[in-house]
Structure 1
Amino acid sequence: MLNANDSFRHIGLRNRLVKEVEKKGITSKSVLEAIGRVPRHLFMDPSFVHLAYKDKAFPIGQGQTISQPYTVAFQSSLLEVTPGCKVLEIGTGSGYQAAVLAEMGVEVYSVERQRKLYEKTQTLLRKTGYKEIRLFLGDGNLGLPDEAPFDRIIVTAGAESVPAGLLVQLAVGGIMVLPVGVKSQTMIRIKRLSEDDFEQEKFGDFAFVPLLKGIVK
């Protein structure tokens, strides 16, 4: 969705970024197309805008970062979403990951624990045309029980262990993707096979900001 603050130069830089992410092993056409459509520079702190289409993470304030595009693409690929999926995101941050998911045609519910970041990102998503993304201020460890179940759950911060409160909100047949660990994290994909049975897979090591409890007002 091209807006007044996007340009053909930005589109060209995104196309280059897509090729870079693809070379690193991302094969999902829907994920690559979504990365190519989201104006990442609009989600950046002004001091880092000129670096928006580098495949790197950057600070966004409040001790948080906008994730590396490859990491966003990797997690999005593991989710295996289809249009219409109901997806819960834990850790809204800049809103970039939520925007990528929205471009993939899913219904996004996103939780952010820091009020200042929540308010800033809510305004940003409206301005950039992603009004359909539903944002909530809350403790991500608890999820959104009133909106459950979810077809997919994605956690964008490092959890010390898999939050039990999120597992119960995953629909049978659903998928949850999250990084688990303390100093560094292993990317985990969990599939809910039945009410009581889960299958878990591991997909390499990553570094995320920690998943913290409570709400920062």
Structure 2
Amino acid sequence: MDELIKALEAKGVLASAALCRAFAKVDRAHFVPPSVFPLAYHDTALPIGWGQTISQPYTVAFMLELLAPQAGDHILDVGSGSGWQTAMLAEMVGRRGKVYAIELVRNLFEFGKKNIEQYPQLFQRVRFYCQNAETGLPQVAEAIAGFDAIIAAARVAEVPQAWRAQLKIGGRLVYPKANAIYREIKREQGWEVTKYPGFVFVPFKSSAKAHTT
């Protein structure tokens, strides 16, 4: 993992100390199936089953730098998959923060949850939801007066309006669309949007019954 971290730092995508600590603490090898374990520290996306992948480390680092998680944040993690990014978010938000992880595919939901259980302290900072993410988590958003940040791991055709509505003023929304990553910051007067082209993602899926843990 040290070599991977050094390679990402050399590419300029591990700029913040908080993200460097998260990458060092949360071992990617704990979040991949045995079939691809030898490739866990390669800077490439890997298949994890059920038609899904664990994203390329460069891409994860790039998106998390844009999201800029802070201690105490409440973050909605859409498409939590293997749980690797979720666990790093849990590390970055600290004891006062919380990560709300949504995964649609039941088997992948269980896989990711089990992976994060290897980090008991981080596991306690995550709420898990196996459901459609299009509607976000309206009851949670209302209870916490809006999410500080929302991140999506899969490509969307259009950003669900529910995500925008559930983000607090000053909150950050990071998501893939077409072949680019977007960051939107919610302002009183509207949205501050920045586009970063040159990325490829699996498509966003919807439809499933809800299950929470």
* Helix, strand or coil at the partner of 1:147: helix
Measure the CA separation in 1 of the matches of 2:150 and 2:181. 13
**Equivalent in the alignment of 2:37:** 49
* Helix, strand or coil at the partner of 2:66: helix
**Equivalent in the alignment of 1:212:** 205
Residues 114, 216 of structure 1: 8 Å contact kept:
no
**Equivalent in the alignment of 1:192:** 186
Residues 32, 73 of structure 1: 8 Å contact kept:
no
* Closer/same/farther in 2, CA of residues 46 and 216 from structure 1, 3 Å limit: farther
Deviation, structure 1 residue 198? 1.3
2:100 counterpart (91, 109, 116): 109
Deviation, structure 1 residue 216? 7.7
Measure the CA separation in 1 of the matches of 2:154 and 2:10. 25
**Unpaired runs of at least 5, structure 2:** none
What do the CA deviations read for 1:154-198 (whole angstroms, capped 9, x no partner)?
0000001122111101111100000112xxx2110001102x611
Is 1:23 the counterpart of 2:3 in the alignment?
no
Figure out how many residues of one structure are paired with residues of the other and give that number: 200
Deviation, structure 1 residue 204? 2.2
Residues 130, 209 of structure 2: 8 Å contact kept:
no
The residue type equivalent to 1:175 in the other structure is R
Deviation, structure 1 residue 205? 2.1
Q: Which runs of structure 1 show a deviation greater than 6 angstroms over 4 or more consecutive aligned residues?
A: none
Measure the CA separation in 2 of the matches of 1:216 and 1:157. 19
Q: Percent identity?
A: 39
2:123 counterpart (106, 131, 138): 131
Measure the CA separation in 2 of the matches of 1:188 and 1:127. 31
* Helix, strand or coil at the partner of 2:171: strand
**Unpaired runs of at least 5, structure 1:** 1-13
Measure the CA separation in 2 of the matches of 1:131 and 1:103. 10
**Equivalent in the alignment of 1:7:** none
* Helix, strand or coil at the partner of 2:182: strand
